[in-house]
Amino acid sequence: MTIKEKAGQMCQYVALEHYKHTKKLFNGKVPKNSDQYAFYPDLSIQEIKDMVVKGEIGSFLHAKDLNEVHELQQLAMKSRLKIPLLFGIDAIHGHAVVEGTTVYPTELSLSSTWNNNLLYEIAKETAQEVRATGMHWTFSPNVEVARDPRWGRTGETFGEDPFLVSQLGVAFTKGYQGNFGKDNILACAKHFVGGGEPFNGTNGAPIDVSERQLREIWFPPFKAQVDAGVYTFMAAHNEVSGIPAHANKFLLTDILRHEWNFKGFIVSDWDDIEHLHDIHHIAATKDEAVKLAVNAGIDMHMHGPGFLVPLCRMVKTGELSESVLNRAAGKILKAKFMLGLFENPYPDKTYARKVLRCEKHRKTALQAAREAIILLKNDGLLPLKNKKKIMITGPNANNERIVGDWVLKQPDENVITVYEGMKDVFDNCSVDYINSGESLRHPDNEKLKLPVAKASEYDAVIIVVGSNSLRYQDPEKTCGENIDRANINLPGNQLKLIKEIYAKNKNVVVVLVNGRPLGEPWIKENIPAVIEAWEPGAYGGQAIAEVLKGKINPSGKLTISIPYCSGQINYFYNHKPSSFFHPYRDIPSEPLWYFGYGLSYTTYRYSELNVPENAYINDTVTVSVNVTNTGNVSGDEIAQLYIRDNYSSATRPVKELKGYKRIHLNPGETKKVEFKLPPSAFAFYDINMNYIVEPGEFTIMTGSSSRDEDLLKKTLIMNNR
């Protein structure tokens, strides 16, 4: 291969239909800070096609469908070496940026199931749909740890706990990649690293952390993906302790490649190599930015021109070693071989018709929505029984906001809104939808008058509120990528609607459809029933209605703490002991809702916690607890295990999740739940940054949530041999 052909493999461009759409949408002037749309003013469509034929492009993203993929692969087959193209796509919770596919719940919603096997199956099905459209690579899983709910991408994560994020991320990685058969795709661990706790809550803002925090909080989920065989990584937008991730040799080479032995390739995020020059200002020119990024460890440029020419020139002049090209091109070519693209680069149109949104995938999406819904409060109002007339209102009651971010417009008949779900499920009573206005950013108080006036006429009122993450409604978005907020209250006039209806009718259920935590203490203090649905996907409306009626017993649990208000940020359950030594004067020091919390239509009792009194530091410790369904409804419970290192050479969190199991229990049934704790469960970085288990006293805790009153506790003494 020539230098240019090797460098060409490192070049990714947006696909042609995306280019055309963007040019038309913005009349040739894309906003400078757009991370969603792109076209290349100095390149025509024909020139891009010619570059493919010349072997100067190795990958595309944002292809529209299999017809476009087929056309571009035909061009690649005209190149000298006939190297197939690699197509990447943002298949984040299903292949949902392509029309007519299965839209699963978003990641934060999926994490609320605490069901590794279910997430594995969803990733496997997603991979099948991605391959059916001729694409090969998803920019998922996002295994950042979400520690600031102001951040708009919180819903794209698996929550705030490194252990849980690691486990669920591995389920996605293994489901996507499998053994790289015809139905598998490349997974991408992103964004490496630290984007989940930006200093001001905005996407891409700096993070300044110690190596201790990197290794204890941020690194573990990414290391878990490497151990699971993930083949691609994506660097983060943000700088880490003063060095942008895209120029951070410590992260991309010293840690990822050398310490962890990562074998795949690293792709830049959207224009982030250029941003080393025009945002971070560590490169005086864009050519210098290319040099910094490639030397740090970046293997593929997302996206467009400005990369190939300076890269080739610097290799020819000796400013860059040709070994960087060999490293990057070799790993990218290996991916194409693993995926079988050299044997068959073209998609099968007949297969796509069988796979996309097939019955099996639709059932999985519905199951996920059912398992993810969290009952936060219930003063006896739910399930709704013997109601003759129900009103449903609220800005998220009858639209597609249930599908969340990373979804393009799907056919209306493919999405069940909450109102549509209520109409179908509550077939024995009258369900009326009254529009209260849908805009969250430009609310109209006049539209509140009718639902408020009618509220007293109904046996119960369902108010569906929350946020809007739909990227095809960009001016109205209040959540999602690059949509960050200073506050975590309900935007617009939603709380006003709830208060005024509650004044007329006390039988109110608030259903939250939202992409990140929303803290509204008044709702918790006053409303008798509250459901957190997050963004439950295309079948979320049906699942919500089934929970409201009692056809489904809710079993989801929070994977992120919900702060009392924005002034309590950053709040996370695994905080250090001194965090609340002095309490707030004006608000509680406890969160509004605890990590791991979620109610059911039945009750569970934990008993007979069995913990050995002593163990050795290199032992695997077995812990067990009995869980009994003490109610009269069958249900699923998520048993959780936490530990605390009571005395240590460096400070440790007040508790850390180290195990969880989802179990099904019939009324009166008891099951013994067993947890195996390897030495790594007790290990940490000591005062000298050595990763060890220190002998001493540990508290073992099991129960239904991280809240102290929900946990049984016993002490374990760890001894040296």
In terms of phi and psi (left: phi > 0; alpha: psi -120 to 50; beta: otherwise), the region of 74 is alpha
- Tokens representing 392 are 């449903």
Looking at the structure, do residues 519 and 432 belong to the same domain, yes or no?
A: yes
Q: Per-residue confidence at 34, pLDDT binned at 50, 70, 90? A: confident
pLDDT digits (tens, 9 = 90+) for 220-238: 999 999 999 999 999 999 9
pLDDT at 720: 94
Instruction: Tell me the C-alpha distance between 27 and 258, whole Å.
Output: 46
Q: What is the DSSP string of 622-646?
A: EEEEEEEE-SSS-EEEEEEEEEEES
Q: Per-residue confidence at 35, pLDDT binned at 50, 70, 90? A: confident
Residue 361: phi and psi, rounded to 5, are: -70, -40
Q: Is residue 150 part of a domain?
A: no
In terms of phi and psi (left: phi > 0; alpha: psi -120 to 50; beta: otherwise), the region of 372 is alpha
pLDDT surpassing 90 at residue 31: no
- Tokens representing 672 are 């013994």
Looking at the structure, do residues 473 and 562 belong to the same domain, yes or no?
A: yes
**Domain end (from 551, 568, 585):** 568
Q: How far apart are the first and last CA of the chain?
A: 57
Instruction: Tell me the C-alpha distance between 147 and 160, whole Å.
Output: 6
Rounded to the nearest 10 degrees, what angle do helices 66-76 and 45-53 cross at?
A: 50
Q: What is the DSSP letter of 493?
A: T
Comparing CA positions, the residue from 268, 272, 275 lying closest to residue 233 is 268
Looking at the structure, do residues 614 and 543 belong to the same domain, yes or no?
A: no
Q: What is the mean pLDDT of residues 497-504?
A: 98
In terms of phi and psi (left: phi > 0; alpha: psi -120 to 50; beta: otherwise), the region of 254 is alpha
Distance of CA 526 to the CA centre of its chain: 31
pLDDT surpassing 90 at residue 39: no
Cβ proximity of 698 and 709 under 8 Å = no
Looking at the structure, do residues 637 and 541 belong to the same domain, yes or no?
A: no
Preceding peptide of 191 cis, ω within 30°: yes
**Residues counted in the chain:** 721
**Domain end (from 521, 553, 568):** 568
Looking at the structure, do residues 424 and 562 belong to the same domain, yes or no?
A: yes
Cβ proximity of 592 and 489 under 8 Å = no
Q: Out of 65, 148, 161, 269, which one is annotated catalytic?
A: 269
pLDDT digits (tens, 9 = 90+) for 281-304: 999 999 999 999 999 999 999 999
Q: Is 405 annotated in the active site?
A: no
Looking at the structure, do residues 551 and 627 belong to the same domain, yes or no?
A: no
Q: Per-residue confidence at 30, pLDDT binned at 50, 70, 90? A: confident
Comparing CA positions, the residue from 36, 48, 45 lying closest to residue 11 is 48
Q: Identify how many contiguous H helices and E strands the chain contains and give both numbers.
A: 21, 26
pLDDT at 200: 95
Which runs of E-coded beta strand occur in 481-603?
A: 508-513, 529-532
- 374-to-108, 359, 612, 677 alpha-carbon distances in Å: 12, 26, 34, 28
Helix (H, G, I), strand (E, B) or coil at 354: helix
Domain count, the chain: 2
Q: Is residue 299 part of a domain?
A: no
Q: Helix, strand, coil: what percent of the chain each, to 5?
A: 35, 20, 45
Instruction: Tell me the C-alpha distance between 434 and 452, whole Å.
Output: 10
Q: Is residue 126 part of a domain?
A: no
pLDDT at 540: 98
Looking at the structure, do residues 370 and 457 belong to the same domain, yes or no?
A: yes
pLDDT at 719: 97
Sign of the CA dihedral with 189 first, then 195, 201, and 202 last: negative
Instruction: Tell me the C-alpha distance between 277 and 290, whole Å.
Output: 9
Q: What is the largest CA-CA distance in the chain?
A: 80
pLDDT surpassing 90 at residue 64: no
Q: Is residue 517 part of a domain?
A: yes
Cβ proximity of 398 and 435 under 8 Å = yes
Q: Please, is 228 exposed, middle or buried when counting C-beta atoms within 10 Å of its C-beta (0-12, 13-18, 19+)?
A: middle
Q: What is the mean pLDDT of residues 15-25?
A: 90
Q: Any idea which residue has 């929303």 for tokens?
A: 518
Percent of the chain with pLDDT over 70: 100
In CATH, what number is assigned to the domain containing residue 429?
Answer: 3.40.50.1700
Q: Is residue 389 part of a domain?
A: yes
Q: Per-residue confidence at 721, pLDDT binned at 50, 70, 90? A: confident
Which runs of E-coded beta strand occur in 352-455?
A: 374-378, 389-393, 430-433
Rounded to the nearest 10 degrees, what angle do helices 540-549 and 359-372 cross at?
A: 50
Q: How many other C-beta atoms are found inside a 10 Å radius of the C-beta of residue 127?
A: 26
- Tokens representing 191 are 């964004």
* Strand-pair partners of 138: 89
pLDDT at 123: 98
pLDDT surpassing 80 at residue 568: yes
pLDDT at 36: 81
Looking at the structure, do residues 371 and 518 belong to the same domain, yes or no?
A: yes
Collect all residues with Cβ–Cβ distance below 8 Å to 81 and sequence separation of at least 6: 1, 5, 55
Of 30-39, 137-146, 633-642, 673-682, the range with the lowest mean pLDDT is 30-39
Q: Is residue 532 part of a domain?
A: yes
Looking at the structure, do residues 499 and 636 belong to the same domain, yes or no?
A: no
Q: Which amino acid is at 156?
A: E
Comparing CA positions, the residue from 170, 300, 158 lying closest to residue 233 is 300
Instruction: Tell me the C-alpha distance between 372 and 534, whole Å.
Output: 8
Q: Is residue 648 part of a domain?
A: yes
Burial letters 422-434, b for 16+ CB under 10 A, else e: bbebbeeeebbbb
Instruction: Tell me the C-alpha distance between 706 and 490, whole Å.
Output: 25
pLDDT at 27: 80
Q: What is the DSSP string of 428-491?
A: TSEEEE------SSS--GGGGHHHHHHGGGSSEEEEEEE----GGGGGG--SSTT---S--SPP
Looking at the structure, do residues 557 and 656 belong to the same domain, yes or no?
A: no
pLDDT digits (tens, 9 = 90+) for 644-668: 999 999 999 999 999 999 999 999 9
Q: Which amino acid is at 677?
A: L
Q: Per-residue confidence at 521, pLDDT binned at 50, 70, 90? A: very high
Of 17-26, 331-340, 541-550, the range with the lowest mean pLDDT is 17-26
Q: Is residue 509 part of a domain?
A: yes
In CATH, what number is assigned to the domain containing residue 631?
Answer: 2.60.40.10
Q: Which amino acid is at 215?
A: R
Looking at the structure, do residues 397 and 532 belong to the same domain, yes or no?
A: yes
Q: Which domain holds residue 498?
A: 359-568
Cβ proximity of 515 and 467 under 8 Å = yes
Cβ proximity of 601 and 633 under 8 Å = yes
CA torsion, ordered 548, 554, 557, 561, to nearest 10 deg? 20
Q: How many other C-beta atoms are found inside a 10 Å radius of the C-beta of residue 21?
A: 15
Q: What is the mean pLDDT of residues 613-634?
A: 97
Containing 82, the helix (H) or strand (E) segment is none
According to DSSP H, which parts of 318-402 are helical? 322-338, 349-355, 359-372
Looking at the structure, do residues 500 and 614 belong to the same domain, yes or no?
A: no
pLDDT surpassing 80 at residue 33: no
Average pLDDT, the chain: 97
Containing 591, the helix (H) or strand (E) segment is none
pLDDT surpassing 90 at residue 29: no
